[in-house]
Amino acid sequence: MTAGQPAALPPRSRLEERLRSLTLPRGITLWSILRVLAAAAATLLIFAILLQLLGSDFGTAFNAVTDSAFGNSFNFGQTLMMASILMCTGLAAAIPFRAQLWNVGGEGQMWFGAFVTIGIALNLPKGWPTALTIAVIVIGAMVAGAVWGLIPGIMKATVNANEVITSLMMTFIAIELGTWAIDGIWPQGASNETESVPVLMPNIWEGTLVTWGLPLAVIAVVVGWAIMNRTKLGFEIKAVGLNNRAAEMNGMSTAKVAIVTFALGGAFAGLAGSIFILGINSALPAGFQLNNFGYLGIAVALVARLNPVWIIPSAILFAGLRVGSDGLQASTGLSTTVGQILIGLFVILLLAFRLIRFSYPEAAR
């Protein structure tokens, strides 16, 4: 290398190779499979002990969960609908996380999406074709989610505000807004929820409650995958995540990546909100925050190793646990939030067994 010349950049092909190695599940070896099994076994063991302490036993609980989540086509349909919510909130976490931007506000972005869904649905003129109405509402909810995500994103890009704090604060504001919708803006008489929306997504699987929400969520995953793996933007997101200083030196804008990933993540979370209202429940119920769908999306994304393709099985697994918890409540009287213990424990153990890891740029060490 001659003196005075800038150091040569690594060939693009090598950088891409490194990026690819991060996209695919790295080295599925016997050892890594053993560790996953060990993490799963440890989770179940801790959970079994907990159930004993709560006066229930693991066998009964296991049957209740599997039966009510996967037992027949109707139950499996419920799991799939729950999974479509988690796929969207999973994307809301996975895309910013790839840039090492911690959008932990998917919950709030989803709430605001649900809020706007109800707002638009109740105020649209009657008589429009169903497809058009739904399209308008869904797009509105996605824009709303994007706006809710943009605020932390812009704050990160301009004043370098900690996005964990700002996105969490946006979540609590959105939940307050949703609660207001339930008891003040669009209350529904005696029952503790908002007015029901007049338009619903059509059913697509007879004998179940599976609606258009499921294909929409799958399309969202495909779009997320395409953005991450087939566009320049996806390349930039991954490069910033690997080493933001190096990315900046290669002419990428970390500010732009922060704003765009947060907006994208927010849009997917907003979609989750509209799928919940139009495709599952028709109204925003009090106690919706007990579900923690936005936070569970983070778990979904982590188990999928932030790879959109793996978000689908990961979401179905966790949705099964969520729906199964309803069955558990029916048979043992435990709260439905019991499934969240299981999900959180599993991800923590995956982290502890080093199956989910993040790289930190050398310079910062």
What are the residues binding another protein (CB under 8 A)?
Answer: 54, 102, 104, 151, 155, 159-162, 164-166, 168-173, 176-177, 179-180, 184, 289-290, 292, 295-296, 298-299, 302, 334-335, 337-345, 347-348, 351-352, 354, 356-358, 360, 364-365
CA distances from 269 to 183, 255, 266, 298 (A): 23, 21, 5, 11
Closest distance to another protein from the beta carbon of 105 (Å):
11
Give the alpha-carbon dihedral of 149, 154, 157, 159, to 10 degrees: -120
CA distances from 44 to 39, 48, 99, 291, 300 (A): 9, 6, 32, 21, 18
Structure tokens at 63: 């049957």
Residue with smaller CB distance to another protein, 210 or 306: 306
Closest distance to another protein from the beta carbon of 364 (Å):
6
Residue with smaller CB distance to another protein, 211 or 254: 254
CA angle 162, 146, 121 (to 5 degrees): 140
Closest distance to another protein from the beta carbon of 156 (Å):
10
Residue with smaller CB distance to another protein, 151 or 278: 151
CB atoms within 10 A of CB 140: 19
Closest distance to another protein from the beta carbon of 212 (Å):
29
Structure tokens at 240: 């910033």
Closest distance to another protein from the beta carbon of 147 (Å):
14
Residue with smaller CB distance to another protein, 110 or 345: 345
On the 0-12 / 13-18 / 19+ scale of CB atoms within 10 A, 2 is exposed
Residue with smaller CB distance to another protein, 110 or 201: 110
Residue with smaller CB distance to another protein, 8 or 363: 363
User: If you count them, how many residues does the chain have?
Assistant: 365
Residue with smaller CB distance to another protein, 206 or 362: 362
CA distances from 215 to 9, 35, 197, 212, 300 (A): 43, 33, 21, 6, 18
Closest distance to another protein from the beta carbon of 315 (Å):
16
Closest distance to another protein from the beta carbon of 299 (Å):
7
Q: Can you tell me the distance from the alpha carbon of 110 to that of 16, in angstroms, rounded to the nearest whole number?
A: 33
Q: Can you tell me the distance from the alpha carbon of 92 to that of 344, in angstroms, rounded to the nearest whole number?
A: 18
Residue with smaller CB distance to another protein, 280 or 334: 334
Closest distance to another protein from the beta carbon of 155 (Å):
7
Q: Can you tell me the distance from the alpha carbon of 2 to that of 113, in angstroms, rounded to the nearest whole number?
A: 56
In one-letter notation, the amino acid at residue 343 is I
Structure tokens at 2: 């001659």
